Amino acid sequence: MRDTRPERSGWRRLLRRGALAAVLVLVAGALFVRSGLYNVAASSDHWPFTTWLIDRVRVHSVDTWSSFVPAPPSLDDADLLALGAAHFEGGCTPCHSRPGDPANAIAAAMLPPPPPLGTVVGSMDAKALFWIVKHGLKYTAMPAWPAQQRDDEVWAVTAFLVRLPELSPRAYRELAGMTRTGQAVQDGAELATGSESVGLTECVRCHGDAETGPLSGYVPVLNAQPRRYLERALAEYADAQRPSGVMQPVATLLTPTERLRLAAWYAGLAAPREDRPDPAPGLVEEGRRLAREGEPGTGLPPCLACHARDHPESFPSLAGQNPEYLLGQLGLFRRGARDGTVHGQIMGVIARRLGDRQAQAAAAYFASLPAGGAPALAEIAP
């Protein structure tokens, strides 16, 4: 019989040496960390190997995790593109600059510096762009999207980034609504068209004023909305009770007094004159019946019970809104993304009883009405 004791002894010595080596590595690593010799200053780069390793981890991580992103919506949607450009101008240009402008000197000194997006995003897949915009990147200055429930907003920015490499400086400024803000003469107008308080965006650039409508169909008309509703909406955004990666950062910068002034200014504006394509008559008629009568068999109350012309001022006016915006909000209610407030919970219960066709019909009906032109409660009472 073969004597295996020498072999066992050899394996034991090897394991002991391996364990000793591991302990020495851990001790040396602990001493190195404790010594503080590694320079973490942003004035100098990492060691080449460290930079290479971090870059490889980041690239492969984005490739892996973005593969789980669902198929994108149509990124050629002009309204989606305009919404993404408007947010990029307000939220992204401080670090990434805009087409035709030099990089911000402070941002350029970051480590790693924000990349020149016009040259980088052209080689990236839309799903990878979406994943980075939504989740951000650790150990860079790229933050996650403030409202993780709002994939619709993230896709808007993604649609813009896909188009960014081909945009001239002039085309960018028009797309982002930079030519829409004029000189203000009133307190509320000053806040709406630009101030230090509204550092991320100017309200008029996205929402329009008495002369121009919203920049995108996914942006609501604020003109002639009830003042109390606008005050409530801004407060909910500021408190992160109503999710929006676009509006939460803006509302957070406003003081309570500034929110009141903005709400009063928009509530006093006449509705803008806009030419919209006429929705399908059959769809509008379905929506009219739903708005006036509801559907008792499924527990759907009439929309106009809360959104008639003489509705309580804490509810929004839906007449004359963009159908894309109305459908988008109904989608958020149906998914439970707006259940963070009492009003949102009430509407969420109702919206989740709507079918897709009913949601389209309701949006078409209210969009077909002139702003402020919803029937009064007395006109629909049985």
Secondary structure class of 295 (helix, strand, coil): strand
Tell me: pLDDT of 273 over 80: no
**pLDDT (tens digit per residue) in 61-72:** 999 999 999 999
Specify whether the CB–CB gap between 137 and 95 falls below 8 A.
no
Looking at the domain assignment, is residue 51 inside a domain?
Answer: no
Please name which of 302, 311, 304 lies closest in space to residue 369, comparing C-alpha atoms: 304
Looking at the domain assignment, is residue 21 inside a domain?
Answer: no
Q: How confident is the model at residue 194 (pLDDT cuts 50, 70, 90)?
A: low
The tokens describing 340, both together, are 């963070």
Residue 246 has a pLDDT of: 93
Q: How confident is the model at residue 130 (pLDDT cuts 50, 70, 90)?
A: very high
Residue 1 has a pLDDT of: 53
Same domain, yes or no: 141 and 92: yes
Secondary structure class of 300 (helix, strand, coil): strand
Tell me: pLDDT of 157 over 90: yes
With vertex at residue 68, the alpha carbon angle to CA 62 and CA 70, rounded to the nearest 5 degrees, is 120
Same domain, yes or no: 77 and 144: yes
Same domain, yes or no: 340 and 374: yes
Same domain, yes or no: 170 and 77: yes
The DSSP secondary-structure symbol of 91 reads I
Looking at the domain assignment, is residue 182 inside a domain?
Answer: no
Same domain, yes or no: 234 and 334: no
Tell me: pLDDT of 197 over 70: no
CA distance 170 to 216: 18
Same domain, yes or no: 62 and 162: yes
Same domain, yes or no: 218 and 135: no
Q: How confident is the model at residue 275 (pLDDT cuts 50, 70, 90)?
A: low
Q: What average pLDDT does the segment 297-307 reach? A: 90
Domain that holds residue 123: 57-175
CATH number at residue 233: 1.10.760.10
Same domain, yes or no: 260 and 298: no
Q: Which of 125, 143, 175 is the last residue of a domain?
A: 175
Instruction: Share the mean pLDDT of the chain.
Output: 88
Same domain, yes or no: 169 and 91: yes
Q: How confident is the model at residue 370 (pLDDT cuts 50, 70, 90)?
A: confident
CA distance 228 to 267: 9
Q: How many CA atoms lie within 13 A of 77 on its CB side?
A: 18
Q: Which of 175, 196, 231 is the last residue of a domain?
A: 175
Same domain, yes or no: 161 and 258: no
Same domain, yes or no: 199 and 251: yes
Looking at the domain assignment, is residue 19 inside a domain?
Answer: no
Looking at the domain assignment, is residue 313 inside a domain?
Answer: yes
Please tell me the total number of residues recorded for the chain in this structure: 382
Tell me: pLDDT of 184 over 50: no
Q: How confident is the model at residue 180 (pLDDT cuts 50, 70, 90)?
A: confident
Q: Which of 240, 267, 294 is the last residue of a domain?
A: 267
Q: How confident is the model at residue 141 (pLDDT cuts 50, 70, 90)?
A: confident
Q: Please tell me which of 26-40, 197-211, 228-242 the model is most confident about, judged by mean pLDDT.
A: 228-242
CATH number at residue 92: 1.10.760
Percent of the chain with pLDDT over 70: 90
Looking at the domain assignment, is residue 102 inside a domain?
Answer: yes
What values do phi and psi take at 156, rounded to 5?
Answer: -65, -45
Q: Which carries the bigger pLDDT value, residue 271 or residue 176?
A: 176
Same domain, yes or no: 213 and 322: no
Q: What average pLDDT does the segment 345-352 reach? A: 94
Tell me: pLDDT of 185 over 60: no
Q: What average pLDDT does the segment 138-164 reach? A: 94
Task: State which amino acid sits at residue 376.
Answer: A
Looking at the domain assignment, is residue 2 inside a domain?
Answer: no
The contacts of residue 121 (CB under 8 Å, 6+ apart) are 129, 161, 162, 164, 165
Residue 225 has a pLDDT of: 93
**pLDDT (tens digit per residue) in 20-51:** 899 999 999 899 888 988 888 888 888 888 88
Cβ neighbours around 36 below 10 Å, total = 8
How many structural domains comprise the chain? 3
Looking at the domain assignment, is residue 32 inside a domain?
Answer: no
Q: What average pLDDT does the segment 261-274 reach? A: 87
The DSSP secondary-structure symbol of 274 reads -
